[in-house]
Amino acid sequence: MKRKREDIPPPPPPDATPSRRSRVKDLTAGPNTPSKTNGTPRKAVSFLNEPSETELGRSPRTPRQKQIDVNDDSTAADPPIVRNANRSARRKSVRNMIQRSIREDLMDEEDGFEEEDNLAQRIFDDEDAGSSESESDDEKNAAAGTSTPAKKPRGRPKKKKEKSPPPVVAIEGPTAYFEQNRARARPSSTTTTLPPLSPKTYFRLLEQHEDKHAADIEHLNSLHKANFDQWVFELSQGFNILLYGYGSKRKLLMEFIKKEAALGNHVVVVNGYVGGLTIRDIVNMVVNAVVGMNHGVKFGVNVNEMMDSVLQILDEHREKDEDKSVTLLVHSIDAAALRTPQAQALLAQLSSHLAIRLIASSDNILSSLLWDSSTLTLFNFIFHDATTFVPYDLEISAADESEGIVDVITGGTAGRSGRSGAKGVKYVLASLTGNAKNLYRILIAAQLTAMEDDGAGKDKMGTEAYGIAYRTLYQKGLEEFVCSSDLVFKTLLKEFYDHQMVTSRKDLQGSEVLWAPFRKEELESILEDIMLG
């Protein structure tokens, strides 16, 4: 009993219920749907397909429904125990259990709750037995709400209601850490993905967008600009400057170096966010700035040796021309390319030279961890909070491809569901043997048939529901002479797993189900490719 309560999903916010429509459907379909015995996975999903699709477009909840939901709570606990009790009842029970655990005092007030608890418990036990098909349904239902308790009343102040469970209080710090890391089932939508956006559209739309805070940002910027004189003074006194805070500081710094350049200093700009930048490039460029492009100075292979000779050149330069120095402007000094201790140590060494003035920006929240006390002493930083609120457009797009915005748009490496994933599959397939290709063809053909039967839209993701059993696939492979033994079959599959072209899961009976985690449209194009190739 006690253990159970801990396993309960978090208090679903009052508005976390699915749309009214789906709920109604749910109830009507109740008696014969997700029963374990006859409910084929496909069927179970089918009635939920539709609401999940509409969720993309519109909010699943309205305040009016919330009212009803809450009222329902009081009546939901009626005794009739149906084995395949519908989900809404289960959800209500969950809510009741949670409400009670929050307001412990209620526990002792009524015996009726005990019974209700038992009911909820029984339902839960059934669920726990492993009905994965309804689990995925559930995730869908809960998709919009449960895992994002963001819809606190204060977000939309107008929609307050009288009888509501205690609101989710915004917790911070350690409490939040333990609360949010607690090991328990947190439903989150695994099956719905964001509709992808082509990079072109993305940039066009952002270009078009007019920031409602443009004036405020400009004002903030002007406040920073008022400090330029001070920065020049600090730099001239042998300190180096590091700017931190949210927002891209690129433009601000580019403005600033105009001032430095006007003083007759050489200015070297380093874009730390550009991938492939090395410390050698920086050192080289500093030398170029001091002695001109075609200096013909050769440096050793070892970067440390190189540094020694560079410092010597700088010494000579300073003797000749004491007032002029080299201003080194490093955008994002904490970017991936400069994150090695060696790079930072060399930068520190360089910046500690009298002829070098360093002004840099850092963005990562943990950037201070880059430096130990000795590099920090060499850097001799003056830190300024330069929160600009300017979007990091360049920084996030210019970064390493796998880190950048393009990746976010297409779903990233972990989100292998994106368009790029399907493209990658074609490359992988091109390099595989004919047998492997054929096996993959069998797999996705079976999956497509299942999807076709289901009437899935072209954007529908491949899921477990459309998968093919391991044994079935093996049998089909044998029939088509794709593989001769289980071992060969496994080897072929291994390749698919490695490239994340296939996902599998053990179903209720313990047999493995395989499917390709791509959208229907993509599957079709892959199939086409295989057939043509």
Partner 1 sequence: MDNDSVLNDDSGSLEHQACYIYTPTSEALSLSTPKKRRAASSSRTPRSKREKIDSKNCEIVGARGHGFPTLLRDLEDEDAVNARYEAFQRLWRDVERRTDDVLAQVNDETLQSVSTFVSKASQDVYGEKLPTGLILTGPNIAAHGVLFQQIETRIQSVDKRGRVAVLTSKDSSNLKNVLKKIIRCITEIHDGFDDEDDIVEAKMGRNVKPSRYNYDPEIIHDWCSTHLDAKVVVAVQDTEAFDPAVLVELISILHQYLPKIPFILLLGIATSEDIFYEKLPHSTIRLLRGDRFDVQRFEESMEQVFEEAVLSSQSILKLGPRVSDVIFERQKDHTRSVASFVMALKYAYMSHFYANSLSVILGSIDSEEALNTILSDAHCEAIRNLPSFKPFVEAKISMFPWRARDLITSNKALKSAVFTASQECQRYSANLAEAINLFRKLQSIVSPQQANEIPTYELYSRILWGEFTTRPAFRDAMLTAKKISSEKFHTLLTTISELPSQLSSELSAARNKVQELQSEKAAKGSTLVSEFALPDSHRTTVKSGRVRLDEQKSKMTSQDTEYHKTVTSTVQQLEAYFKDKFKPYTNLFLHEIFFYDLKSPHSQVFAAKPRPSVERALSRPGDYLGCECCGNNDDEEAGMSGSQPYTAILYQLYLESPALIGVYDLWSAFRVVSLGDKADQEVDDEDEEEKELQAQFYRALAELRYLGLVKYSKKKADHLVKLAWKGL
Q: How far is residue 483's CA from residue 479's CA, in Å, rounded to a whole number?
A: 9
Which C-beta is closer to partner 1: that of 403 or that of 529?
403
Q: How far is residue 206's CA from residue 393's CA, in Å, rounded to a whole number?
A: 10
- The answer to whether the beta carbons of residues 237 and 206 sit under 8 Å apart is no
Contacts of 124 (CB under 8 A, 6+ apart): 4, 7, 90
Closest Cα partner for 385 from 501, 220, 207, 522? 220
Give the pair of three-digit tokens for residue 454: 């289901």
CB of 122 to partner 1, least distance (A): 27
CB of 516 to partner 1, least distance (A): 13
CB of 247 to partner 1, least distance (A): 7
Q: For residues 195-210, b (16+ Cβ closer than 10 Å) or e, as one string?
A: ebeeeeebeeeeeeee
Gyration radius from the chain CA atoms: 31
CB of 151 to partner 1, least distance (A): 6
Which C-beta is closer to partner 1: that of 117 or that of 363?
363
Which C-beta is closer to partner 1: that of 331 or that of 476?
331
> Per residue, what are the HEC states of 405-440?
HHHHHHCCCCCCCCHHHHHHHHHHHHCCCHHHHHHH
- CA 429, chain centre distance (Å): 28
Give the pair of three-digit tokens for residue 68: 């009803």
Q: How far is residue 442's CA from residue 437's CA, in Å, rounded to a whole number?
A: 9
CB of 4 to partner 1, least distance (A): 20
Q: How far is residue 350's CA from residue 346's CA, in Å, rounded to a whole number?
A: 6
CB of 533 to partner 1, least distance (A): 27
Which C-beta is closer to partner 1: that of 383 or that of 475?
383
Give the pair of three-digit tokens for residue 194: 């964001």
Which C-beta is closer to partner 1: that of 218 or that of 480?
218
Which C-beta is closer to partner 1: that of 418 or that of 477?
418
Which C-beta is closer to partner 1: that of 442 or that of 461?
461
Three-state DSSP state, 181: helix
Closest Cα partner for 317 from 352, 288, 360, 359? 288
The Cα-based distances of 407 to 272, 416, 423, 427, 532 in angstroms read 19, 10, 14, 18, 30
Q: Where are the alpha helices (DSSP H) in 41-105?
A: 41-57, 63-75, 87-102
Q: Where are the alpha helices (DSSP H) in 292-392?
A: 303-320, 341-351, 373-379
CB of 372 to partner 1, least distance (A): 8
Which C-beta is closer to partner 1: that of 269 or that of 432?
269
Which C-beta is closer to partner 1: that of 397 or that of 472?
397
Q: How far is residue 272's CA from residue 62's CA, in Å, rounded to a whole number?
A: 47
Which C-beta is closer to partner 1: that of 136 or that of 417?
417
CB of 217 to partner 1, least distance (A): 7
- The answer to whether the beta carbons of residues 392 and 247 sit under 8 Å apart is yes
The amino acid at residue 398 is: A
According to DSSP, residue 195 is labeled P
CB of 368 to partner 1, least distance (A): 5
Which C-beta is closer to partner 1: that of 462 or that of 477?
462
CB of 437 to partner 1, least distance (A): 24
CB of 59 to partner 1, least distance (A): 5
Torsional sign, CA 195, 393, 239, 374: positive
Q: How many CB atoms lie within 10 A of CB 510?
A: 7
CB of 48 to partner 1, least distance (A): 15
The amino acid at residue 457 is: G
Which C-beta is closer to partner 1: that of 212 or that of 320?
212
- The answer to whether the beta carbons of residues 366 and 397 sit under 8 Å apart is no
CB of 232 to partner 1, least distance (A): 4
Contacts of 498 (CB under 8 A, 6+ apart): none
Which C-beta is closer to partner 1: that of 97 or that of 277?
277
CB of 333 to partner 1, least distance (A): 12
- CA 435, chain centre distance (Å): 36
Which C-beta is closer to partner 1: that of 212 or that of 298?
212
